[in-house]
Amino acid sequence: MAYDMKKLIKLVLLFTFFCFTILQAEVGEWKTFTDAKDIRQFYIAENEIWCATNGGLVQFNIENKEFNKLTNIDGLLGNQLVAVDRDHTGKIWIALDDGIIQRYDPDTQSWELTREYNGLQINDLETFGDSVFIALSIGISLFDAPRWEVKETYKIGDVKHVQIIERVIWAATTEGVKKANLDFPNLIAPGAWTTYTTNQGLPGNEVFAIRQYNGKVVAGTINGLSFYLNESWSQAELAEKKIIAFTLKNNTLLSVTQQGVYERDESGSWRLYGTGLRNISNIGMDNQDNVWVGLQNGGLARFNEMTGQWELYVPNGPGDNNFTSLIFDRDNNLWTTSAGRGVSYYNGDKWFNFSLTNGKLNSNDFRTLVVDTKNRVWAGSWGGGISIFTKVEPDSFEIKVIKEDRLAGVDNDPLYVVANRMVMDQSGNIWILNYYANNNKVLAVVDTLDNWQYFSTTDGIGSRYVISLMLDQYGRKWIGSSDNGIFVYDDNNTPFDKRDDEFSGTLTVSDGLASQYICDMALDHDDLIYIGTPEGLNTYFSGDVSDYIDYRVINNDINVILVDGVNNKWVGTSGGLSMLHADGFDSTHYVSKTSPIVSDNVISLAFNDQTGDLYIGTTNGLSRLTTAFTKPAETLDFVKGYPNPFVLDPPMSTFHITNLAAKSSVRIFTAEGFLTRYIPADEILGSQASWDGKNDKGEYVTSGIYLYQITSEDGKTSVGKVAVIKP
């Protein structure tokens, strides 16, 4: 019987395979959240600083100290920027890490782009009149802006920085300094370029910066800096230091090194310019002679001449762009984890970050989150145990650490405690996977009174490499491993009494699983279990493992699975996001090329049942998709309609009816009792229905009082009034 049902399901899905679509957008709006602290380059223009960052294009207002971030939602084709410059018309040129170049007009907020360098590494942009000189890993390319085309490319090697000084092109390359006169008739010819290396006196052949200073050209190399005058290079200064960038402050030269900023006075003496600042990527001066630097993962900093200290300015955002897990607390605040920068918390307006780097956590690598019955947030880490966040006042938390006192470390380090997955059961118990525990107790549970119990490989869990965890409708624990499939453990809902425990068996590739590596599992509203692996998506029901789901997902490398309030299945893969509709047939897919999703590698998901907002965590930022799939209410006691009065102002006017029960229908009547509009239950996706002000004929209704009647599946009704105003 199971085999026949399996064949039937495959036939149905083969048919629907030809019907699924990749959409550019769904019913809702998109928003992108990124960490933009990593300043790769910046350009100072009048009262603002334009920054190329790891999280988009950032505009910083020097006067009011406010940040404005532009991401893929605003027109960027990607958020990983590597270079920025401004041309003489005030337009901003940016280079993406994949070689795409875009030009942004701040006045019209419009974008232009060229894909001529797609796939090449861009290191620098230098605007010069109507041209842009583009430093590439293969040389320098001249881009003609009025014609919007590549004019020619000079293949002179890996160019890190380019400067035009008195109509001479100077290139800082990995093989020395190269220069050519702009007026030379054929710059493509190798003979047009002069090369300077250590053989000609340079301190090092890896050159990162070129600048004019007091009538001389100065080059920053991996072994200090040197001045060029009359075809020769001076003896190295700041020898053995890697010089990254230059700027001028009045008659002094400022050089960026890995140890900080150094200042050279007119006598040739050097001193450290300010202290305590490292990991600098760029430097510049504003029109008030203030020195600014860009920091790697630290934002911007301005040197205060009065105090002799650096003042930091950091764009608000999550701690990282790699979102390993997401969850909402009981106040509907979003919590996120990162594999590199700890835990972040978003209150709907501002981000707050906790990490080893800022001294608030004992680790930077966190993988899982759970919220307990007291609204405490538990964050499990890879090596640092569990950190528990207890709110003491708005946006302020006490943090308690659970580590080797309760959980086991790995074999070669008993203090290295990995808690890589956690879930809470209906009784409020927290179940924890203790990956590679040296005592073999890979599953732990703690109740609300802080009692602990442990389950080991001797209890039937056949792997220490446990990576995924799910509770089914019977309370059984489904434990996924990275090497040996799934183990099902039944404690009969008495976790602290092992006498009635039962090992319920295993699922492996021999049972039909696509892989022994179990990335994630989820139980839907029909008690169907979805199993994600790097080789495809399986389902399990009543002893039968099905492999047909491969036809419904955008990519078989499954990372994460989430079931929303109306039983849609959201599947995050390394190649995009798929929504398997609750009807069991249709699929909708989101990829970065055709939708505003921030990245195709989706590794975490969270759904807000009240708002219908889906948060999509990727390895390159966080996306939010607003959907209509709010969780239906259990009754009609709290039905609400808004706005009231309802002003018809097409095409944006919509009347919303919220807090509907599942499978409710809506009827709109005139004050005299005539039916104007009927919205059947199958057109209502979640707990909210929308009325556009039209009757069943598609015509806008007239002004007046209207009644809306909600009818649930069991025949119960709720009635409200709305005043419609038609201008």
CA dist., res. 318 & res. 313, Å (int): 15
Task: Identify the pLDDT of residue 629.
Answer: 83
Look at residue 589 and tell me if it is in a domain: yes
pLDDT band with cut points at 50, 70 and 90 for residue 301: very high
Asked if 620 and 660 sit in the same domain, the reply is no
Taking residues 465-485, report their average pLDDT: 97
Domain count, the chain: 2
Task: Identify the pLDDT of residue 651.
Answer: 66
Mean of the per-residue pLDDT values for the chain?
92
pLDDT band with cut points at 50, 70 and 90 for residue 28: low
CATH of the domain at 679: 2.60.40.1930
pLDDT band with cut points at 50, 70 and 90 for residue 712: confident
Identify whether 146 is preceded by a cis peptide bond (ω within 30 of 0): no
Asked if 617 and 557 sit in the same domain, the reply is yes
**Percent of the chain residues topping a pLDDT of 70:** 95
Asked if 588 and 647 sit in the same domain, the reply is no
Q: Could you tell me the residue range of the domain that residue 664 belongs to?
A: 640-725
- Is the pLDDT score of 108 beyond 70? yes
For residue 287, count other CB atoms closer than 10 A to its CB.
10
- Is the pLDDT score of 634 beyond 70? yes
Look at residue 379 and tell me if it is in a domain: no
Task: Identify the pLDDT of residue 636.
Answer: 81
- Is the pLDDT score of 642 beyond 70? yes
**Strand 149-154 to 159-165 pairing:** unpaired
- Is the pLDDT score of 17 beyond 50? no
Look at residue 301 and tell me if it is in a domain: no
Asked if 611 and 693 sit in the same domain, the reply is no
pLDDT digits (tens, 9 = 90+) for 127-148: 999 999 999 999 999 999 999 9
Select from 564, 613, 570 the least CA-distant residue to 29: 613
Look at residue 673 and tell me if it is in a domain: yes
Domain endpoint, select from 598, 625, 652? 625
Asked if 589 and 654 sit in the same domain, the reply is no
DSSP state of 429: P
pLDDT band with cut points at 50, 70 and 90 for residue 475: very high
pLDDT digits (tens, 9 = 90+) for 423-450: 999 999 999 999 999 999 999 999 999 9
Task: Identify the pLDDT of residue 637.
Answer: 83
Sheet holding 48-53, edge to edge: 39-45, 48-53, 56-61, 66-70
3-state SS of 290-329 is CEEEEECCCEEEEEECCCCEEEEECCCCCCCCCCCEEEEC
Look at residue 312 and tell me if it is in a domain: no
- 3-state helix, strand, coil split of the chain in percent (to 5) is 5, 50, 45
Domain endpoint, select from 577, 593, 625? 625
DSSP state of 483: S
Asked if 562 and 591 sit in the same domain, the reply is yes
Asked if 591 and 662 sit in the same domain, the reply is no
Task: Identify the pLDDT of residue 707.
Answer: 87
The two tokens of residue 155 are: 């293949």
Q: What residues form DSSP beta bridges with 273? A: none
CATH of the domain at 17: 2.130.10.10
Asked if 666 and 577 sit in the same domain, the reply is no
Asked if 519 and 604 sit in the same domain, the reply is yes
Taking residues 148-165, report their average pLDDT: 97
User: Measuring CA to CA, how many Å separate 591 from each of 16, 579, 598, 618, 656?
Assistant: 20, 12, 9, 12, 30
Residue with the larger pLDDT of the pair 698 and 321: 321
Q: Which pTM was predicted?
A: 0.88
3-state SS of 224-279 is EEEEEECCEECCCECCCCCCCEEEEECCEEEEEECCEEEEECCCCCEEECCCCCCC
Look at residue 656 and tell me if it is in a domain: yes
Residue with the larger pLDDT of the pair 323 and 644: 323
Taking residues 223-232, report their average pLDDT: 92
Asked if 565 and 611 sit in the same domain, the reply is yes
Look at residue 235 and tell me if it is in a domain: no
Asked if 618 and 650 sit in the same domain, the reply is no
CA dist., res. 708 & res. 678, Å (int): 10
- Is the pLDDT score of 15 beyond 90? no
Task: Identify the pLDDT of residue 96.
Answer: 98
Task: Identify the pLDDT of residue 550.
Answer: 65
Asked if 512 and 620 sit in the same domain, the reply is yes
For residue 77, count other CB atoms closer than 10 A to its CB.
17
Look at residue 559 and tell me if it is in a domain: yes
**Percent of the chain residues topping a pLDDT of 90:** 77
